[in-house]
Structure 1
Amino acid sequence: MDITTIIGIVLGLALVAWGILTNSDLGSYIDPASLIIVLGGTIAGYLVAFPLKEVLNIGKVIGKTVKNSEFNIDQIIGKIIELANVARREGLLALEEAVSEINDEFLQKGVMLIVDGTDPELVKNIMETEIENLSDRHSKSKSMLEMMGTLAPAFGMVGTLIGLVAMLQNLSDPSSIGPSMAVALLTTFYGSLFANLIFIPMAAKLGLKSNEEVLIRNVMIEGLLSIQAGENPRIIEEKLKVFLPPSVRKTVGTQEAKSENG
């Protein structure tokens, strides 16, 4: 689990609660009508913006923000160097036996294309098309949360207008002014809180995770094409290490390449 998402939300709510309690009581900031206007309106707008099959996926989209990445670029590079060593010792056809040990479907597909003798340019085109489709899916997921981040403050303003209208209609009754103003202000408060603490940050995290996955996919393509071209595992290692931060480059793939060269 990506604990930072949970920590961020809990910390944000705790700070807001602390700010409330230092000046007032928490109960005065709880208003079911305001909450229904903001959340209900956000959900309604979300239903209008996206088709049903996308709407039903919102749980999975949110779940991605609290799950750790399935990929470890260090391990991926190490695996590619290992495949390069196998191909150098036994030939490309020997990679077919290694496919069963690969957990990633994208990398499996690339290896099988190489084993089948597919033209390198076609291998590259097929795998880049996969990445484009992946990016499109991720972009759609991100846009869902961004839409909710836009709608929440908007419906907060709608609630504010409702409260102001109710207040202006009852100026002759001083006792109604306070509750009406509370609804007006609390809907804006709820809309801003949901948008800036939950929806927009989650969309940003999805974007980061998508960029990370696309980077790793590109590392796989570069590595597989290098294997297909018959390049030395040491050269492949150095090419792929460019994708890593300098602080971790020395620890990746060294032993695999050494064992081949030794």
Structure 2
Amino acid sequence: MDLTTIVGIALGLLALVGGFLLDGGHISGLLVFSAAIIVFGGTIGAVIVSFPKSHLKQIPKAISLAFREKRTDPQELIAELVDMALVARREGVLALEDRAQAHPNAFLRDGLQMVVDGTDPDLLRQILEVEIEAKEKLYGSYAKLFEAAGGYAPTMGIIGTVMGLIHVLSNLSEPETLAGAIAVAFSATLYGVASANVIYLPIANKIKIRGEEHIAEMDMMLEGMLALQAGENPQLIQKKLTSFLQLETAGAAGKDANRDGEET
């Protein structure tokens, strides 16, 4: 379990509630069941309308990606590829067959098997790049689900507030209840904006980062397998893969920075 995601959401919600209480508010003032139904129910409904069933089935996997700890260590992958390169140089790539078939990483297992089978390097690159591109699109679709929720939630909050104000204006004959009714109405806006900026959008961003990390590792493994197949020096392979992974990570950070600048 990735504690940073859980701690971040908990800290964000705690800061909002804590600030409200420090300002003299009461926790009961934040618990408005009707507003929660409008905002969260409306957001879920809008997301369901926006995406086909095949995308909606991906929600559990998307949540798992955001809350799950990273399973692989890039340095361990590099060390393993370098060790395989040493074996391939001494005994030939056929010596990697048993190791390839038993490898737990499906992408590396399939790629190594193609190397052992003598697949042409250009064809090997083409096949694996198609797989990488498909995985990249999959992670993008995961993030879009939560980005959509983050876009709809504030609007649903405004809708809930307007509905609450309509109710308030229809009961002007009881002025002593107006203040409380207006406060309840605005709680919908609070739910919408808070859920978007503390839950939905941060989870979408975490999914993007997790996806970029995985794609960078797949790119690195692809280059490692091609270098291994070409019989390159293991030390040079290690240097290349280490530098390649650093470049990919920096590139992902640059994409996020550029995207933030464009949105601003």
TM-score w.r.t. the length of structure 2 is 0.89
Any conservation in 2 of the 1:222–1:240 contact (CA below 8 Å)?
Answer: yes
What is the identity, as a one-letter code, of the residue corresponding to 2:84?
Answer: L
Is 2:45 the counterpart of 1:14?
no
Q: Over aligned residue pairs, what C-alpha RMSD do you find?
A: 1.5
Any conservation in 2 of the 1:159–1:183 contact (CA below 8 Å)?
Answer: no
The more displaced of 56-65 and 73-82 is 56-65
CA distance in 2, matches of 1:31, 1:241: 53
Is 2:108 the counterpart of 1:107?
yes
CA distance in 1, matches of 2:41, 2:57: 16
The more displaced of 204-213 and 174-183 is 174-183
Report how far residue 179 of structure 1 moved: 3.8
Equivalent position of 1:249 in the other structure = none
Give the aligned length. Answer: 246
Equivalent position of 2:196 in the other structure = 195
Deviation >4 Å, runs of 4+? none
Alignment of 1:86-125 (within 5 A): 86-125=87-126
CA distance in 1, matches of 2:211, 2:58: 17
Equivalent position of 1:152 in the other structure = 153
Is 2:181 the counterpart of 1:170?
no
The more displaced of 46-55 and 23-32 is 46-55
SS in 2 for 1:125: helix
CA distance in 1, matches of 2:19, 2:246: 40
What is the identity, as a one-letter code, of the residue corresponding to 2:34?
Answer: A
Equivalent position of 2:71 in the other structure = 70
CA distance in 1, matches of 2:137, 2:118: 29
What is the identity, as a one-letter code, of the residue corresponding to 1:82?
Answer: D
Q: Structure 1 vs Structure 2: percent identity of aligned residues? A: 38
Report how far residue 172 of structure 1 moved: 2.9
TM-score w.r.t. the length of structure 1 is 0.90
The more displaced of 151-160 and 58-67 is 58-67
The more displaced of 91-100 and 177-186 is 177-186
Report how far residue 72 of structure 1 moved: 1.1
Where does the alignment leave 5 or more consecutive residues of structure 2 unmatched? 248-264
Deviations 1:27-78 (A, max 9, x none): 1111000010000001110110112232233222112111011221101101
Where does the alignment leave 5 or more consecutive residues of structure 1 unmatched? 247-262
Deviations 1:162-210 (A, max 9, x none): 0121222222321342343123210000011110001000000000000
Any conservation in 1 of the 2:29–2:184 contact (CA below 8 Å)?
Answer: no
